[in-house]
Amino acid sequence: MIKVSSLCRNYAAFRAVDNVTFEVERGEVVGLLGHNGAGKTTVMKMLTGFLQPSSGSVVIDNMEISDHRYEVQKQIGYLPENCPLYTAMSVIDYLDWMADLKGIANQEKMQHLAAAIDATELQQLAYQQISTLSRGMRQRVGVAQAILNRPKVLILDEPTNGLDPGQIELMRLLIRQAASWSTVILSTHILQEVEAVCDRVLIMRGGQLAVDAPLDALHSSGQLVLNAHGAADTIITLLESLELVASVESSTAESYLVSVDPGREDEAARMIVKTLVDNGVDVSRISLQRDRLESLFRQDQES
């Protein structure tokens, strides 16, 4: 559905995006994660055709965006960062105007407007002037225009930025609903937003793509922290005899780092505790090491 190849963007001597390559399959929900200044928004603007790459290519629905800009943009729903709106218009007038810009036929317009307003729960505000709305309500209007024509690709740049907890939960629900008919890419610097709705994560760091992996794989660290009392040699021998255990390290007195098959941490933990207890070893604690996604994200923050 989306194929990004060797994408670069320069601003004079500064390279904001550096040789980024990834693909997104139809129906995926992908999180573009990274701290402010990592290059996320620049990538988003190139995906939507609002910014020309310095080099590289973006292909959406088998069309190279530089060659078929308008055709590609008809397939995209886009919520830009900071959600720019025409605040002198009412919600319904703005959405009606956006429907015309998106080429929605007059006989289908009311159906599309009603569906977008219902999905974003803007029924009570449809005839209110946008300038009178709160930040969260304006964000809903931005999402409503993005989903008006049920696009094949939905691109959301920091969709929960500035929202309160209730509004964040509604935004998550909207993203999950949209995923039933659209490929979704959302950009954020908030780890919890990726964990809440995404199937896969791309982590940007200094303009480069540092990580591209399914979310489940990144949650499976494959390492357990074990606290057990007994002879270290005996404990290590018992652990290494288990099929699911790949390696054992003694980090401190009575503390061990146990590497196991990723995705089978719970099963391995039960087996470890049973084996040690059956052999007279006192186990005080066993837990999953901080998951890899959080570790990678913190590495970005600390670098």
Q: Domain ends where: 218, 234, 251?
A: 218
Q: Is residue 173 part of a domain?
A: yes
Q: Residues 225-280: pLDDT tens digits?
A: 899 998 999 999 999 999 999 999 886 678 998 998 877 888 999 999 999 999 99
For the stretch 11-29, pLDDT in tens is 999 999 999 999 999 999 9
* Structure token pair of residue 294: 């959080």
Q: Residues 191, 131: one domain?
A: yes
Cα 236 to Cα 90: distance, rounded to the nearest angstrom = 69
What pLDDT digit, counting tens, does each position of 25-68 carry?
999 999 999 888 899 999 999 999 999 999 999 999 999 999 99
- Fill in the amino acid letter for 14: F
12 and 44, same structural domain? yes
Do residue 140 and residue 277 come from a single domain?
no
Is the residue at 303 inside a domain? no
Question: Within its chain, how far is the Cα of 91 from the centroid?
Answer: 28
Whether residue 178 is found in the same domain as residue 278: no
Q: Are residues 121 and 265 in the same domain?
A: no
Q: What local confidence, expressed as pLDDT, does residue 288 receive?
A: 77
Of 202, 218, 234, which residue constitutes the final position of a domain? 218
DSSP codes joined into one string, 178-241:
HTTTSEEEEEES-HHHHHHH-SEEEEEETTEEEEEEEHHHHH---EEEEEEES-HHHHHHHHHT
Same-domain status, 128 and 89: yes
286 and 205 belong to one structural domain: no
Q: Where are the alpha helices (DSSP H) in 74-188?
A: 91-101, 106-119, 135-147, 165-178
Average pLDDT over residues 199-207: 92
> The domain that contains 285 carries what CATH number?
3.30.70.100
Instruction: Report yes or no on 35 lying in a domain.
Output: yes
Report the pLDDT value the prediction gives residue 107, as an integer from 0 to 100. Answer: 93
Q: How large is the average pLDDT for residues 282-301?
A: 71
Report pLDDT digits (tens) over 130-161. Answer: 999 998 899 999 999 999 999 999 999 989 88
Judged against a pLDDT cut of 90, whether residue 116 lies above it is answered with: yes
Residues 287 and 183 in one domain: no
Average pLDDT, the chain: 90
- Is the same domain home to 74 and 151? yes
Give how many domains the chain has, as a whole number.
Answer: 2
Statement: residue 164 has pLDDT above 70? yes
Please indicate, yes or no, if residue 67 is contained in any of the structural domains: yes
Q: Give every CB contact of residue 85 below 8 A, 6+ residues apart in sequence.
A: 94, 130, 138, 141, 142
Q: What is the CATH number of the domain that holds 104?
A: 3.40.50.300
- Domain stops at, among 199, 218, 237: 218
134 lies in a domain? yes
- Please tell me whether residues 245 and 112 are part of one structural domain: no
Per-residue model confidence (pLDDT) at position 144: 95
Is 186 in the same domain as 231? no
Full domain range(s) for residue 269: 221-298
Mark whether 186 and 289 lie in a shared domain: no
